[in-house]
Amino acid sequence: MILQTPYYLIDERALLGNLKKIEYLRKNSGAKTVLALKCFSTPAVFSLMSKYMDGTTSSSLYEAKLGAEMFGKETHAFSVAYSKEDIDGLKKISDKIIFNSASQLKRFYKDVKNLKVGLRINPSVSYSHFDLADPSRKYSRLGVFDVKEAMSALNKIDGVMFHYNCENEDFAAFSKMLDFISKKYEKVLQKINWVSLGGGISFTKDGYPLARFCAKLKEFSQKFNVQVYLEPGEAAVTKCCELATTVLDVVKNEKNIAIVDASTEAHTLDLLIYRERAKLNEKKGSNEYIIAGRSCLAGDVFGTYKIARKLKVGSKIRFSDAAGYTMVKKNWFNGVKMPSIAVKRLNGKIELVRQFDYKDFVKSLS
């Protein structure tokens, strides 16, 4: 199938590689895994993912509904702050509802007490390369910091969530922080039935000591007699999707600048926010190019690269790792054409699952 750029292409075979590692983790640690929909929420591959995962976790009512309706299995709900409307909707579809604060737990407890109720605890330690994503940053609003406040909520909850990792590929750091949590919150952990350790742990990355990770989780679970949950997002979908683009023009301002039919602002916003360079599927060489987007934003730049070939109008450019925190943030800035979504199935066939047009642009704004 010939697809018109730009488009996101999800490769189920690559996705399956991550899912097999998740399956290994579930079998060897006893932990359950729920897909973090805030990171990746494309239903076209949910049928495959649901075979290897235990459900979904959400950050809003709409995400929770998506998980319940399209993924199935367990549906965990979390939000930094719920409205009454949120609670009324979530209590009908959720297996677990996790509160961010003791005040919201108290306010809505009567509405959800028949469900499995949890509270987010902030252990005051975290792993993040970015202050923007650091849950333990100064003045953080994410979770309960005070141990006594957490203890006082034990009569209302049967589980807790610690979400304190962001792109943590350092097993030693993870292990050290888990030991810290075990000691600091020992009295809390002894009184509950389940613990979510959140997401942000890069346990599917090549070279990660997965067996040691499983052993650590199992040890923690057995010590406190709790069911451990992980909330993989990036770990589930890393290296399984690319953004395919076409060069529209090549201009020169001291350096060669190739302009493609996509945009960082509209299609890879996570990279722009964190000032990271897009990963390019190209052989390295001596031809240097700034590859830029087509929006009017001056800083709409994917990165500077030295590649083997020379680029010209019509050249195809593919950016890898365009799934996690990328597809969920796509937008209509400048009215730039939204990338289609395609899936390369396990049998090798490519299926075009969604195209966007002018009507979608108009409907998104009025």
Whether 298 is in a domain gets the answer yes
Residues 6+ apart with CB under 8 A from 192: 154, 157, 158, 159, 160, 224, 226
The predicted pLDDT at position 2 comes to: 85
Specify whether 27 is located in the same domain as 47. Answer: yes
Same domain, 64 and 178: yes
Residue 70 clears pLDDT 80, i.e. is over it: yes
**pLDDT confidence bin for 351, thresholds 50/70/90:** very high
Residue 172: Cβ-neighbour burial (10 angstroms; 0-12, 13-18, 19+)? exposed
- Does some domain include residue 2? no
Residue-wise pLDDT tens digits, 144-177: 999 999 999 999 999 999 999 998 999 999 999 9
Confidence of residue 338 (pLDDT cuts 50, 70, 90): very high
27 and 58 part of one domain: yes
Q: What span, in angstroms and rounded, lies between the C-alpha atoms of 208 and 234?
A: 14
pLDDT of residue 298: 97
Question: Which of 196, 211, 237 is at the close of a domain?
Answer: 237
The total number of structural domains that make up the chain: 2
| pLDDT value, residue 141 | 96
d(CA 172, CA 164): 15
Question: What is the phi/psi pair of residue 77, to 5°?
Answer: -115, 135
Q: What's 265's domain CATH number? A: 2.40.37.10
Same domain? For 40 and 165 the reply is yes
Domain end position, chosen among 181, 216, 237: 237
What is the per-residue pLDDT across 87-144, written as a single tens digit (0 to 9) for each?
Answer: 999 999 999 999 999 999 999 999 999 999 999 999 999 999 899 999 999 999 999 9
216-262 pLDDT tens trace:
999 999 999 999 999 999 999 999 999 999 999 999 999 999 999 99
Is 7 within the bounds of a domain?
no
Shared domain check, 248 and 176: no
Res 218: pLDDT: 98
pLDDT in tens, 10-64: 999 999 999 999 999 999 999 999 999 999 999 999 999 999 999 999 999 999 9
What is the token pair recorded at 295? Answer: 């929006």
Which pLDDT does position 207 carry in this prediction?
96
Task: Specify whether 97 is located in the same domain as 141.
Answer: yes
> Count of CB atoms within 10 A of residue 18's CB?
22
Residue 138 lies in a domain: yes
CATH code, domain with 139:
3.20.20.10
The reply to whether 206 and 268 lie within a common domain is no
pTM: 0.95
Alpha helices in 61-101 (DSSP H): 61-66, 84-90
Q: Is residue 3 part of a domain?
A: no
Strands (E), the chain: 7-11, 32-36, 55-58, 74-78, 96-99, 116-120, 159-161, 194-196, 227-230, 241-253, 255-260, 279-280, 284-292, 301-307, 316-320, 340-344, 350-354
The percent of residues in the chain predicted with pLDDT above 90, rounded, is 97
Instruction: Using the predicted structure, report yes or no on whether residue 1 has a pLDDT greater than 80.
Output: no
Peptide bond preceding 6 in cis form (omega within 30 of 0): yes
* 58, 64 Cβ separation under 8 angstroms: yes
Check whether residue 81 and residue 107 sit in a common domain: yes
Q: Which domain range does residue 316 map to?
A: 241-322+330-363
What pLDDT is recorded for position 88? Answer: 98
Q: Among 181, 204, 237, where does a domain finish? A: 237
Give the residue ranges of DSSP H helices in 225-366: 234-237, 264-267, 269-274, 358-363
Q: What is the number of H-type helices and E-type strands within the chain?
A: 13, 17
- Do 56 and 161 sit in the same domain of this protein? yes
User: Is the same domain home to 231 and 292?
Assistant: no
Inside any domain, residue 6: no
Measured CA distances, 36 to 41, 186, 188, 314, 333 (Å): 8, 27, 25, 37, 25
Tell me: do 226 and 248 sit in the same domain. no
Q: What is the pLDDT of residue 129?
A: 87
pLDDT for the residue 214: 98
Residue 245 lies in a domain: yes
Q: Is the pLDDT of residue 317 over 80?
A: yes
Q: Is residue 4 part of a domain?
A: no
Q: Are residues 140 and 221 in the same domain?
A: yes
